[in-house]
A and B are shown apart, each in its own frame.
Chain A
Amino acid sequence: MKNYWHSVTLESELCNGCTNCLRRCPTEAIRIRNGKAKIIKERCIDCGECIRVCPYHAKKALANDLSILNNYKYKIALVSLPLYGQFCLEKDINKVFNCFYDIDFDFVYDVAYAADILTVLQKDLVKSSEIPKPLIATLCPAITRLIQIRFPSLIDHIIPFESPMEITARMAKREVAEKLGVSMDEIGAFYIAQCPAKITSINKPLGIKKSYVDGAIPISKLYSKLLKIYKEIDNTKKIQKASGKGIGWARVGGQSFAIGIDNYLAVDGIENVIKVLEEIELGKLNNIDFFEGYACITGCVGGPLNVENPFIAKSRIRKIASSFGDSEVDKKEAYRMLEEGKIGLTEKIKPLSILKLDSNIQRAIEKMEFLEKIYKKLPGIDCGSCGAPTCHAMAEDVVRGKASIDDCVIKQRKKISGSRG
Protein backbone atom coordinates (compact mmCIF):
# COMPACT_ATOMS: atom_id res chain seq x y z
CA MET A 1 0.00 0.00 0.00
CA LYS A 2 1.23 3.46 -0.87
CA ASN A 3 1.64 5.90 1.94
CA TYR A 4 -1.55 7.83 2.16
CA TRP A 5 -2.00 10.85 4.33
CA HIS A 6 -5.32 12.46 4.94
CA SER A 7 -6.42 15.50 6.78
CA VAL A 8 -9.83 13.96 7.34
CA THR A 9 -9.58 11.76 10.42
CA LEU A 10 -11.71 10.14 13.02
CA GLU A 11 -11.61 10.84 16.71
CA SER A 12 -12.75 7.42 17.80
CA GLU A 13 -13.74 8.30 21.38
CA LEU A 14 -16.45 10.54 19.96
CA CYS A 15 -17.69 8.08 17.33
CA ASN A 16 -20.68 6.00 18.37
CA GLY A 17 -20.83 3.96 15.20
CA CYS A 18 -23.93 5.55 13.68
CA THR A 19 -24.23 5.29 9.91
CA ASN A 20 -24.51 8.95 8.94
CA CYS A 21 -21.05 9.24 7.43
CA LEU A 22 -21.20 5.75 5.99
CA ARG A 23 -24.06 6.69 3.72
CA ARG A 24 -22.83 10.09 2.74
CA CYS A 25 -19.31 9.20 1.66
CA PRO A 26 -19.22 9.65 -2.13
CA THR A 27 -16.41 7.14 -2.64
CA GLU A 28 -17.69 4.46 -0.20
CA ALA A 29 -14.53 4.97 1.83
CA ILE A 30 -16.08 4.43 5.26
CA ARG A 31 -16.87 1.22 7.12
CA ILE A 32 -18.06 0.70 10.65
CA ARG A 33 -15.89 -1.86 12.42
CA ASN A 34 -16.32 -2.81 16.07
CA GLY A 35 -18.74 0.04 16.57
CA LYS A 36 -16.45 2.74 15.18
CA ALA A 37 -16.13 4.36 11.79
CA LYS A 38 -13.00 3.53 9.82
CA ILE A 39 -11.76 5.41 6.79
CA ILE A 40 -10.30 3.39 3.94
CA LYS A 41 -7.34 5.63 3.26
CA GLU A 42 -6.77 4.88 -0.41
CA ARG A 43 -10.37 5.77 -1.23
CA CYS A 44 -10.76 8.96 0.79
CA ILE A 45 -10.69 12.16 -1.28
CA ASP A 46 -10.90 14.52 1.72
CA CYS A 47 -14.10 16.12 0.51
CA GLY A 48 -15.19 16.70 4.09
CA GLU A 49 -18.74 15.34 3.71
CA CYS A 50 -18.30 13.15 6.79
CA ILE A 51 -17.05 16.07 8.86
CA ARG A 52 -20.14 18.03 7.93
CA VAL A 53 -22.58 15.22 8.55
CA CYS A 54 -21.25 13.72 11.82
CA PRO A 55 -23.65 14.64 14.63
CA TYR A 56 -21.01 13.83 17.25
CA HIS A 57 -18.17 15.80 15.68
CA ALA A 58 -16.07 12.69 15.64
CA LYS A 59 -14.69 13.50 12.21
CA LYS A 60 -12.25 16.30 12.00
CA ALA A 61 -9.55 17.82 9.84
CA LEU A 62 -5.99 17.29 10.91
CA ALA A 63 -4.35 20.69 10.84
CA ASN A 64 -1.66 22.64 12.60
CA ASP A 65 -2.11 24.95 15.51
CA LEU A 66 -0.26 28.18 15.98
CA SER A 67 2.61 26.53 17.82
CA ILE A 68 3.99 25.45 14.45
CA LEU A 69 5.01 29.06 13.90
CA ASN A 70 7.74 28.56 16.50
CA ASN A 71 9.60 26.23 14.13
CA TYR A 72 10.42 29.06 11.76
CA LYS A 73 12.26 32.31 12.07
CA TYR A 74 10.09 34.15 9.56
CA LYS A 75 6.41 33.42 9.20
CA ILE A 76 4.13 34.06 6.27
CA ALA A 77 0.33 33.92 6.42
CA LEU A 78 -1.27 32.85 3.15
CA VAL A 79 -4.79 34.13 3.53
CA SER A 80 -7.22 31.94 1.60
CA LEU A 81 -9.99 33.28 -0.61
CA PRO A 82 -12.98 32.25 1.53
CA LEU A 83 -11.79 34.51 4.35
CA TYR A 84 -13.22 37.39 2.35
CA GLY A 85 -16.69 36.05 2.98
CA GLN A 86 -16.37 35.46 6.72
CA PHE A 87 -16.88 39.02 7.96
CA CYS A 88 -19.77 41.42 7.65
CA LEU A 89 -19.39 43.85 4.79
CA GLU A 90 -18.92 46.80 7.13
CA LYS A 91 -15.55 45.40 8.15
CA ASP A 92 -12.53 46.56 6.19
CA ILE A 93 -11.05 43.38 4.75
CA ASN A 94 -7.61 44.94 4.43
CA LYS A 95 -7.73 45.58 8.16
CA VAL A 96 -8.65 41.93 8.71
CA PHE A 97 -5.55 40.98 6.75
CA ASN A 98 -3.51 43.27 9.03
CA CYS A 99 -4.75 41.35 12.06
CA PHE A 100 -2.47 38.47 11.11
CA TYR A 101 0.57 40.53 12.14
CA ASP A 102 -0.80 40.43 15.65
CA ILE A 103 -1.00 36.63 15.49
CA ASP A 104 2.75 36.44 15.14
CA PHE A 105 2.99 36.44 11.35
CA ASP A 106 5.72 38.61 9.83
CA PHE A 107 4.27 38.70 6.34
CA VAL A 108 0.74 38.43 5.05
CA TYR A 109 -0.20 37.53 1.47
CA ASP A 110 -3.51 37.67 -0.34
CA VAL A 111 -3.96 34.30 -2.10
CA ALA A 112 -6.77 35.71 -4.23
CA TYR A 113 -4.18 37.71 -6.15
CA ALA A 114 -2.87 34.46 -7.63
CA ALA A 115 -6.41 33.84 -8.86
CA ASP A 116 -6.04 37.07 -10.85
CA ILE A 117 -2.85 35.71 -12.40
CA LEU A 118 -4.50 32.39 -13.24
CA THR A 119 -7.50 34.18 -14.73
CA VAL A 120 -5.25 35.74 -17.36
CA LEU A 121 -3.76 32.38 -18.32
CA GLN A 122 -7.00 30.42 -18.24
CA LYS A 123 -8.66 32.97 -20.47
CA ASP A 124 -6.16 32.16 -23.21
CA LEU A 125 -6.27 28.44 -22.53
CA VAL A 126 -10.00 28.39 -23.17
CA LYS A 127 -9.38 29.91 -26.59
CA SER A 128 -6.67 27.42 -27.53
CA SER A 129 -7.27 23.81 -28.45
CA GLU A 130 -4.30 22.48 -26.50
CA ILE A 131 -6.50 20.63 -24.04
CA PRO A 132 -9.70 18.72 -24.84
CA LYS A 133 -12.94 20.52 -23.99
CA PRO A 134 -14.45 21.05 -21.59
CA LEU A 135 -11.40 22.24 -19.69
CA ILE A 136 -11.65 21.07 -16.12
CA ALA A 137 -10.58 23.60 -13.53
CA THR A 138 -9.35 22.05 -10.34
CA LEU A 139 -9.34 24.62 -7.65
CA CYS A 140 -10.79 21.85 -5.52
CA PRO A 141 -8.30 19.04 -4.85
CA ALA A 142 -11.12 16.72 -3.76
CA ILE A 143 -12.43 16.86 -7.32
CA THR A 144 -9.00 16.14 -8.76
CA ARG A 145 -8.76 13.03 -6.57
CA LEU A 146 -12.27 12.04 -7.53
CA ILE A 147 -11.26 12.24 -11.19
CA GLN A 148 -8.16 10.13 -10.51
CA ILE A 149 -10.28 7.42 -8.92
CA ARG A 150 -13.58 7.49 -10.78
CA PHE A 151 -13.04 9.41 -14.01
CA PRO A 152 -9.46 8.75 -15.10
CA SER A 153 -10.37 9.22 -18.77
CA LEU A 154 -10.94 12.90 -17.94
CA ILE A 155 -7.46 13.56 -16.56
CA ASP A 156 -6.45 15.00 -19.95
CA HIS A 157 -9.07 17.73 -19.51
CA ILE A 158 -7.55 19.07 -16.32
CA ILE A 159 -5.99 22.52 -16.52
CA PRO A 160 -2.29 21.95 -15.77
CA PHE A 161 -1.84 24.90 -13.42
CA GLU A 162 -1.08 25.03 -9.74
CA SER A 163 -3.59 26.34 -7.22
CA PRO A 164 -3.63 29.97 -6.06
CA MET A 165 -2.39 28.74 -2.67
CA GLU A 166 0.69 27.11 -4.14
CA ILE A 167 1.48 29.94 -6.51
CA THR A 168 1.24 32.43 -3.67
CA ALA A 169 3.44 30.32 -1.41
CA ARG A 170 6.21 30.17 -4.01
CA MET A 171 5.94 33.85 -4.75
CA ALA A 172 5.86 34.86 -1.09
CA LYS A 173 8.76 32.70 0.01
CA ARG A 174 10.97 33.88 -2.83
CA GLU A 175 10.12 37.50 -2.17
CA VAL A 176 10.76 37.26 1.54
CA ALA A 177 14.00 35.32 1.10
CA GLU A 178 15.25 37.91 -1.33
CA LYS A 179 14.18 40.87 0.73
CA LEU A 180 15.76 39.60 3.93
CA GLY A 181 18.67 37.82 2.30
CA VAL A 182 17.90 34.60 4.15
CA SER A 183 17.50 31.00 3.10
CA MET A 184 14.05 29.65 2.32
CA ASP A 185 14.43 27.07 5.08
CA GLU A 186 14.12 29.79 7.66
CA ILE A 187 10.78 30.89 6.27
CA GLY A 188 7.53 29.12 7.03
CA ALA A 189 4.46 29.72 4.85
CA PHE A 190 1.11 28.84 6.42
CA TYR A 191 -2.20 28.48 4.70
CA ILE A 192 -5.24 29.80 6.49
CA ALA A 193 -7.36 26.87 5.46
CA GLN A 194 -11.02 26.44 4.62
CA CYS A 195 -11.02 22.67 4.20
CA PRO A 196 -9.24 19.35 4.74
CA ALA A 197 -8.81 18.79 0.99
CA LYS A 198 -6.47 21.75 0.80
CA ILE A 199 -4.55 20.56 3.84
CA THR A 200 -4.10 17.14 2.29
CA SER A 201 -2.91 18.74 -0.92
CA ILE A 202 -0.11 20.37 1.06
CA ASN A 203 1.08 17.09 2.51
CA LYS A 204 0.35 15.00 -0.56
CA PRO A 205 0.49 17.42 -3.47
CA LEU A 206 -1.04 16.69 -6.87
CA GLY A 207 0.86 17.58 -9.99
CA ILE A 208 3.96 18.88 -8.19
CA LYS A 209 6.72 17.15 -6.28
CA LYS A 210 6.59 19.14 -3.07
CA SER A 211 4.45 21.92 -1.72
CA TYR A 212 5.98 25.23 -0.71
CA VAL A 213 3.42 25.48 2.05
CA ASP A 214 4.69 24.44 5.47
CA GLY A 215 1.47 24.07 7.37
CA ALA A 216 -2.20 24.92 7.55
CA ILE A 217 -4.28 26.55 10.23
CA PRO A 218 -8.08 26.40 9.91
CA ILE A 219 -9.99 29.64 9.51
CA SER A 220 -12.29 28.44 12.28
CA LYS A 221 -9.40 28.27 14.73
CA LEU A 222 -8.37 31.88 14.13
CA TYR A 223 -11.77 33.47 13.70
CA SER A 224 -12.46 34.73 17.19
CA LYS A 225 -8.86 35.89 17.52
CA LEU A 226 -9.19 37.91 14.36
CA LEU A 227 -12.41 39.53 15.55
CA LYS A 228 -10.75 40.50 18.80
CA ILE A 229 -7.61 41.89 17.20
CA TYR A 230 -9.72 43.76 14.67
CA LYS A 231 -11.19 45.83 17.47
CA GLU A 232 -7.79 46.65 18.86
CA ILE A 233 -5.67 47.62 15.90
CA ASP A 234 -5.63 50.60 13.64
CA ASN A 235 -2.58 50.04 11.47
CA THR A 236 -3.52 49.55 7.88
CA LYS A 237 -0.66 48.46 5.70
CA LYS A 238 -1.91 47.67 2.21
CA ILE A 239 -2.01 43.90 1.87
CA GLN A 240 -5.25 43.19 0.09
CA LYS A 241 -4.27 42.99 -3.53
CA ALA A 242 -6.79 40.95 -5.50
CA SER A 243 -9.41 42.28 -7.85
CA GLY A 244 -13.08 41.57 -7.46
CA LYS A 245 -12.78 38.84 -10.06
CA GLY A 246 -9.94 37.12 -8.26
CA ILE A 247 -11.88 37.22 -5.00
CA GLY A 248 -14.88 35.81 -6.84
CA TRP A 249 -13.02 32.51 -7.24
CA ALA A 250 -14.11 31.78 -3.68
CA ARG A 251 -17.60 30.92 -4.88
CA VAL A 252 -18.93 28.51 -7.45
CA GLY A 253 -19.03 30.16 -10.86
CA GLY A 254 -16.37 32.68 -9.90
CA GLN A 255 -13.71 31.32 -12.21
CA SER A 256 -16.00 31.35 -15.21
CA PHE A 257 -17.13 34.86 -14.39
CA ALA A 258 -13.53 36.04 -14.06
CA ILE A 259 -12.57 34.51 -17.39
CA GLY A 260 -15.63 36.14 -18.88
CA ILE A 261 -17.06 33.21 -20.79
CA ASP A 262 -20.62 32.17 -21.39
CA ASN A 263 -20.19 28.60 -22.35
CA TYR A 264 -19.33 27.10 -19.00
CA LEU A 265 -20.70 24.82 -16.31
CA ALA A 266 -20.14 25.59 -12.64
CA VAL A 267 -21.21 22.88 -10.24
CA ASP A 268 -21.08 22.64 -6.48
CA GLY A 269 -21.63 19.70 -4.14
CA ILE A 270 -19.78 16.46 -4.62
CA GLU A 271 -22.79 14.40 -5.72
CA ASN A 272 -23.73 17.00 -8.32
CA VAL A 273 -20.17 17.10 -9.59
CA ILE A 274 -20.18 13.31 -9.98
CA LYS A 275 -23.33 13.50 -12.10
CA VAL A 276 -21.86 16.12 -14.40
CA LEU A 277 -18.53 14.31 -14.72
CA GLU A 278 -20.52 11.24 -15.82
CA GLU A 279 -22.03 13.35 -18.59
CA ILE A 280 -18.66 14.76 -19.60
CA GLU A 281 -17.25 11.24 -19.74
CA LEU A 282 -20.05 10.23 -22.09
CA GLY A 283 -19.03 13.05 -24.39
CA LYS A 284 -22.37 14.74 -23.92
CA LEU A 285 -20.83 18.06 -22.94
CA ASN A 286 -18.14 18.47 -25.57
CA ASN A 287 -19.80 21.71 -26.59
CA ILE A 288 -18.99 23.24 -23.19
CA ASP A 289 -15.67 25.10 -22.95
CA PHE A 290 -15.06 25.23 -19.25
CA PHE A 291 -16.08 23.26 -16.19
CA GLU A 292 -15.48 24.21 -12.59
CA GLY A 293 -16.51 21.75 -9.90
CA TYR A 294 -16.43 21.96 -6.12
CA ALA A 295 -16.92 19.37 -3.44
CA CYS A 296 -18.60 21.96 -1.26
CA ILE A 297 -21.99 23.53 -1.80
CA THR A 298 -21.42 27.19 -2.83
CA GLY A 299 -17.74 26.49 -3.64
CA CYS A 300 -14.81 27.16 -1.33
CA VAL A 301 -16.80 29.59 0.83
CA GLY A 302 -18.71 26.47 1.80
CA GLY A 303 -15.59 24.62 2.99
CA PRO A 304 -16.09 22.85 6.33
CA LEU A 305 -13.43 24.87 8.15
CA ASN A 306 -15.11 28.19 7.47
CA VAL A 307 -17.25 29.84 10.11
CA GLU A 308 -19.94 31.74 8.26
CA ASN A 309 -23.02 30.14 6.74
CA PRO A 310 -22.00 29.18 3.18
CA PHE A 311 -24.89 30.95 1.51
CA ILE A 312 -24.40 34.19 3.38
CA ALA A 313 -20.67 34.04 2.70
CA LYS A 314 -21.33 33.38 -0.97
CA SER A 315 -23.62 36.35 -1.27
CA ARG A 316 -20.98 38.52 0.38
CA ILE A 317 -18.32 37.31 -2.01
CA ARG A 318 -20.58 38.27 -4.88
CA LYS A 319 -21.07 41.75 -3.46
CA ILE A 320 -17.38 42.20 -2.70
CA ALA A 321 -16.47 40.96 -6.15
CA SER A 322 -18.57 43.62 -7.81
CA SER A 323 -17.35 46.44 -5.58
CA PHE A 324 -13.62 45.77 -5.80
CA GLY A 325 -11.45 47.12 -8.58
CA ASP A 326 -10.09 45.55 -11.72
CA SER A 327 -7.19 43.13 -11.88
CA GLU A 328 -3.75 44.73 -11.81
CA VAL A 329 -2.11 41.66 -13.24
CA ASP A 330 -0.13 42.37 -16.33
CA LYS A 331 -0.49 39.74 -19.03
CA LYS A 332 3.24 39.73 -19.71
CA GLU A 333 3.96 39.21 -16.05
CA ALA A 334 1.58 36.23 -15.90
CA TYR A 335 3.28 34.61 -18.89
CA ARG A 336 6.72 35.34 -17.51
CA MET A 337 5.77 33.48 -14.34
CA LEU A 338 4.45 30.58 -16.38
CA GLU A 339 7.66 30.42 -18.41
CA GLU A 340 9.76 30.55 -15.26
CA GLY A 341 7.98 27.45 -14.00
CA LYS A 342 6.13 29.18 -11.20
CA ILE A 343 2.66 28.14 -12.28
CA GLY A 344 2.59 24.97 -14.37
CA LEU A 345 2.24 21.49 -12.95
CA THR A 346 5.44 19.49 -13.21
CA GLU A 347 4.17 15.98 -12.48
CA LYS A 348 1.60 13.97 -14.37
CA ILE A 349 -1.66 13.41 -12.57
CA LYS A 350 -2.05 9.65 -12.71
CA PRO A 351 -5.14 7.47 -12.63
CA LEU A 352 -5.63 5.68 -9.33
CA SER A 353 -7.18 2.33 -10.08
CA ILE A 354 -7.82 1.48 -6.47
CA LEU A 355 -11.29 0.13 -7.14
CA LYS A 356 -10.17 -2.94 -9.07
CA LEU A 357 -10.66 -6.34 -7.52
CA ASP A 358 -7.50 -7.87 -8.95
CA SER A 359 -4.70 -6.76 -11.23
CA ASN A 360 -5.18 -9.88 -13.33
CA ILE A 361 -8.30 -9.48 -15.42
CA GLN A 362 -9.13 -13.17 -15.45
CA ARG A 363 -9.01 -13.30 -11.68
CA ALA A 364 -10.86 -9.99 -11.43
CA ILE A 365 -13.68 -11.47 -13.50
CA GLU A 366 -13.82 -14.53 -11.26
CA LYS A 367 -13.96 -12.32 -8.20
CA MET A 368 -16.71 -10.25 -9.78
CA GLU A 369 -18.77 -13.38 -10.39
CA PHE A 370 -18.23 -14.38 -6.79
CA LEU A 371 -19.20 -10.88 -5.70
CA GLU A 372 -22.50 -11.08 -7.56
CA LYS A 373 -23.21 -14.50 -6.05
CA ILE A 374 -22.71 -13.11 -2.58
CA TYR A 375 -24.76 -10.04 -3.39
CA LYS A 376 -27.69 -12.21 -4.37
CA LYS A 377 -27.60 -13.84 -0.95
CA LEU A 378 -27.79 -10.50 0.84
CA PRO A 379 -31.16 -8.87 1.56
CA GLY A 380 -30.48 -5.85 -0.66
CA ILE A 381 -31.92 -3.30 1.74
CA ASP A 382 -28.69 -1.34 2.29
CA CYS A 383 -29.32 -1.03 6.01
CA GLY A 384 -25.70 -0.37 6.90
CA SER A 385 -25.80 -2.51 10.06
CA CYS A 386 -22.98 -4.73 8.83
CA GLY A 387 -20.74 -1.68 8.62
CA ALA A 388 -20.74 -1.36 4.83
CA PRO A 389 -22.65 1.45 3.12
CA THR A 390 -24.64 -0.87 0.83
CA CYS A 391 -25.23 -4.58 0.39
CA HIS A 392 -23.19 -4.35 -2.79
CA ALA A 393 -20.26 -2.79 -0.95
CA MET A 394 -20.62 -5.54 1.64
CA ALA A 395 -20.39 -8.21 -1.06
CA GLU A 396 -17.30 -6.46 -2.34
CA ASP A 397 -15.77 -6.45 1.15
CA VAL A 398 -16.39 -10.19 1.45
CA VAL A 399 -14.64 -10.82 -1.88
CA ARG A 400 -11.73 -8.65 -0.81
CA GLY A 401 -11.51 -10.65 2.41
CA LYS A 402 -12.40 -7.63 4.52
CA ALA A 403 -15.71 -8.93 5.86
CA SER A 404 -17.64 -12.14 6.31
CA ILE A 405 -21.12 -12.78 4.99
CA ASP A 406 -22.06 -13.65 8.57
CA ASP A 407 -21.63 -9.97 9.43
CA CYS A 408 -24.98 -9.37 7.77
CA VAL A 409 -27.27 -8.68 10.68
CA ILE A 410 -30.45 -9.38 8.75
CA LYS A 411 -29.20 -12.76 7.59
CA GLN A 412 -28.18 -13.64 11.13
CA ARG A 413 -31.55 -12.67 12.46
CA LYS A 414 -33.28 -14.82 9.88
CA LYS A 415 -31.03 -17.71 10.79
CA ILE A 416 -31.86 -17.36 14.46
CA SER A 417 -35.58 -17.13 13.83
CA GLY A 418 -35.28 -20.33 11.85
CA SER A 419 -36.31 -19.07 8.45
CA ARG A 420 -34.10 -19.51 5.42
CA GLY A 421 -31.51 -16.77 4.96
Chain B
Amino acid sequence: MDSNKNNIGIKLEYEVKKDDFTRAGEASSNIKKVLRQLGIDSDVIRRTAIATYEAEINIVIHSEGGTITVYIKPDRIEMIAEDSGPGIEDVRLAMQEGFSTASNKIRELGFGAGMGLPNMKKYTDEFYIDSQKGGSTTVKMTIYI
Protein backbone atom coordinates (compact mmCIF):
# COMPACT_ATOMS: atom_id res chain seq x y z
CA MET B 1 0.00 0.00 0.00
CA ASP B 2 1.38 3.36 -0.95
CA SER B 3 0.38 6.65 0.47
CA ASN B 4 0.86 9.66 -1.72
CA LYS B 5 0.95 12.89 0.22
CA ASN B 6 -1.14 15.14 -1.97
CA ASN B 7 -3.36 12.42 -3.27
CA ILE B 8 -4.15 9.71 -0.80
CA GLY B 9 -4.92 6.31 -2.14
CA ILE B 10 -4.46 2.61 -1.86
CA LYS B 11 -2.44 0.43 -4.15
CA LEU B 12 -3.33 -3.20 -4.60
CA GLU B 13 -1.09 -5.45 -6.64
CA TYR B 14 -1.64 -9.00 -7.81
CA GLU B 15 0.57 -11.29 -9.74
CA VAL B 16 -1.32 -13.30 -12.32
CA LYS B 17 0.19 -16.50 -13.62
CA LYS B 18 -0.21 -17.99 -17.04
CA ASP B 19 -2.69 -20.90 -17.25
CA ASP B 20 -3.44 -20.79 -13.54
CA PHE B 21 -7.19 -21.28 -13.69
CA THR B 22 -7.49 -22.42 -10.10
CA ARG B 23 -6.55 -18.97 -8.85
CA ALA B 24 -8.23 -16.97 -11.57
CA GLY B 25 -10.74 -14.61 -10.05
CA GLU B 26 -8.82 -14.30 -6.79
CA ALA B 27 -7.59 -10.81 -7.55
CA SER B 28 -11.00 -9.44 -8.45
CA SER B 29 -12.60 -11.12 -5.46
CA ASN B 30 -9.98 -9.58 -3.21
CA ILE B 31 -10.40 -6.15 -4.77
CA LYS B 32 -14.13 -6.42 -4.15
CA LYS B 33 -13.57 -7.12 -0.49
CA VAL B 34 -11.37 -4.04 -0.11
CA LEU B 35 -13.90 -1.86 -1.92
CA ARG B 36 -16.67 -3.11 0.35
CA GLN B 37 -14.61 -2.18 3.38
CA LEU B 38 -14.15 1.27 1.91
CA GLY B 39 -17.91 1.63 1.66
CA ILE B 40 -17.85 2.10 -2.14
CA ASP B 41 -21.20 2.04 -3.95
CA SER B 42 -22.26 -1.48 -4.93
CA ASP B 43 -22.61 -0.68 -8.61
CA VAL B 44 -19.05 0.68 -8.74
CA ILE B 45 -17.84 -2.43 -6.93
CA ARG B 46 -19.54 -4.68 -9.43
CA ARG B 47 -18.14 -2.80 -12.44
CA THR B 48 -14.64 -2.81 -10.97
CA ALA B 49 -14.92 -6.51 -10.24
CA ILE B 50 -16.00 -7.28 -13.80
CA ALA B 51 -13.26 -5.16 -15.36
CA THR B 52 -10.47 -6.60 -13.22
CA TYR B 53 -11.79 -10.14 -13.57
CA GLU B 54 -11.81 -9.96 -17.36
CA ALA B 55 -8.31 -8.46 -17.37
CA GLU B 56 -7.12 -11.16 -15.01
CA ILE B 57 -8.59 -13.97 -17.12
CA ASN B 58 -7.08 -12.55 -20.29
CA ILE B 59 -3.65 -12.63 -18.68
CA VAL B 60 -4.22 -16.22 -17.55
CA ILE B 61 -5.45 -17.41 -20.94
CA HIS B 62 -3.72 -15.29 -23.56
CA SER B 63 -0.43 -14.15 -22.05
CA GLU B 64 2.80 -15.33 -20.48
CA GLY B 65 1.72 -13.89 -17.14
CA GLY B 66 1.53 -10.42 -15.66
CA THR B 67 0.19 -8.18 -12.94
CA ILE B 68 -2.99 -6.36 -12.04
CA THR B 69 -2.51 -3.12 -10.16
CA VAL B 70 -5.38 -1.15 -8.69
CA TYR B 71 -5.20 2.34 -7.24
CA ILE B 72 -8.15 3.38 -5.15
CA LYS B 73 -8.47 7.12 -4.70
CA PRO B 74 -11.26 9.11 -3.10
CA ASP B 75 -12.74 10.01 -6.46
CA ARG B 76 -11.77 7.12 -8.72
CA ILE B 77 -10.46 3.63 -9.17
CA GLU B 78 -7.61 3.09 -11.59
CA MET B 79 -6.81 -0.38 -12.88
CA ILE B 80 -3.75 -1.42 -14.80
CA ALA B 81 -3.26 -4.85 -16.31
CA GLU B 82 0.17 -5.53 -17.69
CA ASP B 83 1.69 -8.70 -19.05
CA SER B 84 4.91 -9.86 -20.62
CA GLY B 85 3.59 -10.75 -24.05
CA PRO B 86 3.03 -12.14 -26.65
CA GLY B 87 0.86 -9.11 -27.47
CA ILE B 88 -2.14 -8.66 -29.73
CA GLU B 89 -1.73 -8.62 -33.48
CA ASP B 90 -4.73 -6.45 -34.32
CA VAL B 91 -6.09 -4.52 -31.35
CA ARG B 92 -9.05 -3.15 -33.29
CA LEU B 93 -10.13 -6.65 -34.17
CA ALA B 94 -9.59 -7.86 -30.59
CA MET B 95 -11.87 -5.10 -29.35
CA GLN B 96 -14.78 -6.34 -31.44
CA GLU B 97 -17.53 -8.21 -29.68
CA GLY B 98 -17.26 -11.90 -30.41
CA PHE B 99 -13.68 -11.89 -31.63
CA SER B 100 -11.60 -14.52 -29.90
CA THR B 101 -8.53 -16.59 -30.58
CA ALA B 102 -9.25 -18.92 -27.67
CA SER B 103 -8.76 -22.61 -28.36
CA ASN B 104 -11.56 -25.16 -28.19
CA LYS B 105 -10.16 -26.38 -24.91
CA ILE B 106 -10.49 -22.90 -23.42
CA ARG B 107 -13.99 -22.56 -24.83
CA GLU B 108 -14.99 -25.75 -23.09
CA LEU B 109 -14.05 -24.06 -19.84
CA GLY B 110 -16.59 -21.37 -20.59
CA PHE B 111 -14.23 -18.67 -21.86
CA GLY B 112 -13.62 -17.36 -25.33
CA ALA B 113 -16.86 -15.59 -26.12
CA GLY B 114 -14.84 -12.61 -27.23
CA MET B 115 -16.61 -10.38 -24.75
CA GLY B 116 -13.85 -9.64 -22.24
CA LEU B 117 -12.29 -6.58 -23.79
CA PRO B 118 -15.62 -5.09 -24.97
CA ASN B 119 -17.01 -5.55 -21.46
CA MET B 120 -13.97 -3.92 -19.86
CA LYS B 121 -14.60 -0.95 -22.06
CA LYS B 122 -18.34 -0.97 -21.40
CA TYR B 123 -18.11 -1.11 -17.62
CA THR B 124 -15.37 1.47 -17.13
CA ASP B 125 -15.41 5.23 -17.65
CA GLU B 126 -12.01 5.34 -19.30
CA PHE B 127 -10.41 2.52 -21.22
CA TYR B 128 -7.06 2.41 -22.91
CA ILE B 129 -5.24 -0.52 -24.45
CA ASP B 130 -1.72 -0.70 -25.80
CA SER B 131 -0.33 -3.81 -27.43
CA GLN B 132 1.94 -4.94 -30.23
CA LYS B 133 2.62 -8.35 -31.59
CA GLY B 134 5.71 -9.68 -29.88
CA GLY B 135 5.49 -7.15 -27.06
CA SER B 136 3.49 -6.75 -23.94
CA THR B 137 -0.15 -5.79 -23.54
CA THR B 138 -1.20 -3.00 -21.20
CA VAL B 139 -4.79 -2.19 -20.36
CA LYS B 140 -5.55 0.91 -18.32
CA MET B 141 -9.02 1.54 -17.00
CA THR B 142 -10.63 4.12 -14.73
CA ILE B 143 -13.96 4.14 -12.95
CA TYR B 144 -15.07 7.37 -11.30
CA ILE B 145 -16.68 7.01 -7.92
Chain A interface residues (CB < 8 Å from chain B):
150, 152-153, 278, 281-284, 351, 353, 355-359, 361-362, 364-366, 368-369, 371-373, 396
Contacts and interface: CB of A to CB of B under 8 A. Distances in A.
B36 A356 contact: yes
A278 B145 CA distance: 21
Contact of A369 (B1, B42, B43): B1
B10 A365 contact: yes
Contacts of A368: 1, 10, 34, 37-38
B34 A278 contact: no
B119 A365 contact: no
A364 B37 contact: yes
A109 B34 CA distance: 47
B106 interface: no
Contacts of A353: 36, 39
Contacts of A357: 37-39
A364 B37 CA distance: 8
Contacts of B145: 361
B134 interface: no
Contacts of A355: 36-37
A356 B1 contact: no
B71 to A, nearest CB: 11
A365 B25 contact: no
Instruction: Tell me which of A282, A355, A361 has the highest count of chain B C-beta atoms within 10 A of its own C-beta.
Output: A282
Given A364-B39, A368-B1, A368-B34, A278 B10 contact: no
B141 interface: no
Interface string B14-43: 000000000001001100101011111011
A96 to B, nearest CB: 44
B55 to A, nearest CB: 12
Given A361-B74, A361-B145, A365-B8, A356 B43 contact: no
A365 B74 contact: yes
13 contacts: A152-B42, A278-B25, A278-B29, A283-B119, A353-B36, A357-B37, A361-B38, A361-B74, A362-B8, A364-B37, A364-B39, A365-B10, A365-B38
Given A153-B45, A368-B1, A361 B36 contact: no
Interface stretch (B46-54, B95-103, B125-133): B46-54
A101 B117 CA distance: 64
Contacts of B38: 356-357, 361, 364-365, 368
B11 to A, nearest CB: 9
Q: Which 4 A-B pairs have the closest CB atoms?
A: A356-B39, A152-B42, A153-B46, A153-B42
B110 to A, nearest CB: 8
Contacts of B6: none
B3 interface: yes
B139 to A, nearest CB: 17
B72 interface: yes
DSSP class of A's interface residues: helix, strand, loop or mixed?
helix
A153 B41 CA distance: 9
B8 to A, nearest CB: 6
Contact of B1 (A281, A359, A373): A373
Contacts of B43: 153
A366 B37 contact: no
Interface in B58-97: 72-74
A377 to B, nearest CB: 13
A372 B145 CA distance: 22
A394 to B, nearest CB: 14
Nearest to A359: B39
Contacts of B110: 284
Nearest to B111: A284
B49 A369 contact: no
Given A278-B25, A278-B29, A361 B1 contact: no
Contacts of A282: 25, 28, 49-50, 53
B9 interface: yes
Contacts of B42: 152-153, 351
Contacts of B3: 369
A362 B6 CA distance: 12
B74 A362 contact: yes
Given A153-B45, A365-B8, A369-B3, 18 more contacts: A153-B42, A281-B46, A281-B49, A282-B49, A282-B50, A353-B39, A355-B37, A356-B37, A356-B38, A357-B37, A361-B38, A361-B40, A361-B145, A368-B1, A368-B37, A368-B38, A369-B1, A396-B37
Nearest to A360: B39
A153 B73 CA distance: 21
Contacts of A150: 36
Nearest to B33: A355
